[in-house]
């Protein structure tokens, strides 16, 4: 197992954001956390990324405890959050080198690694421009490879396709599949059932801080006797996955 959590819980001043989540993620697979806005996905990820301290429960990544072995965990994981982990005034190469140095990589190996990653996402021609001047899609590409600067074994992505144009969404999903081919473990959240359907080997369905169902995507649908993930969510919660407002906005072209 690459990621294990037991009863992981986080409360903010009485509000239970994550409620006793126990998960096991197999090495070299893509594991999805599917849930509506406010389900607690980001809070769960921030706990296993050692940014937030759990209120109770345990977790480990590649055998390292998320509370006691924070430095080992930090070296093991590469994280893509909802917000970009990039400084807009710094260039692509400066951003990658800055983070690389904080992971203890230096000099020529660092420069070569940074340039190779930038080349991989086809941004070499703009590598000396501040990333604030990039298009949203370009920024997300740099943001993705930034998480790989220190060769992590586990990649954690929080809604990586949110707010992107269809072409960039396609690109990000293909990239996530390529990460799996490199035998990396991928944990990714989404509130998009198509994404869940397409990408995930295994899926945990989250709502209101808790996990409602876990399993291989096909098994989950079969066990609940539904055709799509959206139906599955409806059956488990009695609600639509996408909340009313966002689907109405989407219909109007937002």
Ligand X SMILES: Nc1ncnc2c1ncn2[C@@H]1O[C@H](COP(=O)(O)OP(=O)(O)O)[C@@H](O)[C@H]1O
Can you tell me which of 32, 40, 100, 152 binds ligand X, judged by CB under 6 A? 40
Report the site for Mg ion in 34-93 (rule: CB under 5 A).
Answer: 42
Q: Is 64:77 a contact under the CB 8 Å cutoff?
A: no
For the chain, the helix, strand and coil percentages under 3-state DSSP, each to the nearest 5: 40, 25, 35
Q: Identify which range of 38-46, 110-118, 134-142, 230-238 contacts ligand X by CB under 6 A.
A: 38-46
41 touches ligand X (CB under 6 A):
yes
161 touches ligand X (CB under 6 A):
no
x/- binding map, residues 43-72, to ligand X, per CB under 6 A? x-----------------------------
Can you tell me which of 16, 90, 164, 234 binds another protein, judged by CB under 8 A? 90
Output the smallest distance, CB 53 to ligand X, in A. Answer: 12
Residue at token pair 């009485």: 14
Collapsed DSSP state (helix, strand, coil) of residue 104: coil
190 touches another protein (CB under 8 A):
no
Q: Is 157:129 a contact under the CB 8 Å cutoff?
A: no
Q: How far apart are CA 199 and CA 213, in angstroms?
A: 17
Burial 132-152 (b: 16+ CB within 10 A, else e): eebeeebbbbbbbbbbbbbeb
Can you tell me which of 4, 25, 86, 204 binds another protein, judged by CB under 8 A? 86
Q: How far apart are CA 39 and CA 142, in angstroms?
A: 28
Q: Identify which range of 31-39, 96-104, 120-128, 174-182 contacts another protein by CB under 8 A.
A: 96-104
Output the smallest distance, CB 143 to ligand X, in A. Answer: 17
Closest CA to 166 of 137, 126, 188: 137
Q: How far apart are CA 214 and CA 218, in angstroms?
A: 11
Collapsed DSSP state (helix, strand, coil) of residue 78: strand
Output the smallest distance, CB 215 to ligand X, in A. Answer: 20
Identity of the residue, 43 or 217, whose beta carbon is nearer to ligand X in the bound complex:
43
133 touches another protein (CB under 8 A):
no
Binding site for another protein (CB under 8 A): 12, 46, 49-53, 70-71, 74-75, 77, 79, 81-90, 94, 98-99, 101-105, 130
Residues that bind Mg ion in the complex, under the rule CB under 5 A: 42
């Amino acid at each position: 197992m690459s990621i294990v959590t037991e009863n992981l819980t986080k409360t903010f001043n009485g509000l239970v954001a994550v409620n006793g989540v126990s998960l096991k993620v197999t090495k070299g697979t893509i594991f999805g956390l599917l849930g509506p806005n406010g389900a607690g996905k980001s809070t769960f990820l921030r706990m296993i990324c050692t940014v937030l301290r759990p209120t109770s429960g345990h977790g480990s990544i590649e055998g390292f405890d998320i509370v006691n072995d924070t430095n080992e965990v930090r070296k093991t994981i590469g994280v893509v959050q909802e917000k970009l982990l990039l400084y807009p005034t710094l260039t692509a190469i400066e951003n990658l080198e800055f983070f690389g140095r904080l992971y203890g990589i230096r000099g020529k190996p660092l420069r070569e690694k940074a340039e190779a990653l930038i080349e991989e996402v086809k941004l070499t021609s703009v590598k000396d421009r501040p990333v604030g001047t990039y298009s949203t899609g370009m920024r997300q590409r740099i943001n993705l490879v930034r998480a790989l600067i220190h060769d992590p074994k586990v990649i954690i992505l929080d809604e990586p396709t949110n707010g992107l144009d269809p072409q960039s969404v396609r690109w990000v999903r293909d990239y996530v599949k390529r990460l799996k081919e490199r035998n990396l473990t991928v944990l990714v959240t989404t509130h998009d059932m198509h994404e869940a359907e397409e990408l995930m080997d295994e899926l945990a369905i989250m709502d209101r801080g808790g996990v409602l169902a876990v399993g291989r995507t096909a098994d989950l649908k079969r066990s609940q006797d539904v055709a799509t993930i959206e139906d599955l969510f409806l059956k488990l919660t009695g609600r639509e996955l996408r909340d009313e407002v966002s689907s109405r906005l989407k219909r109007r072209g937002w």
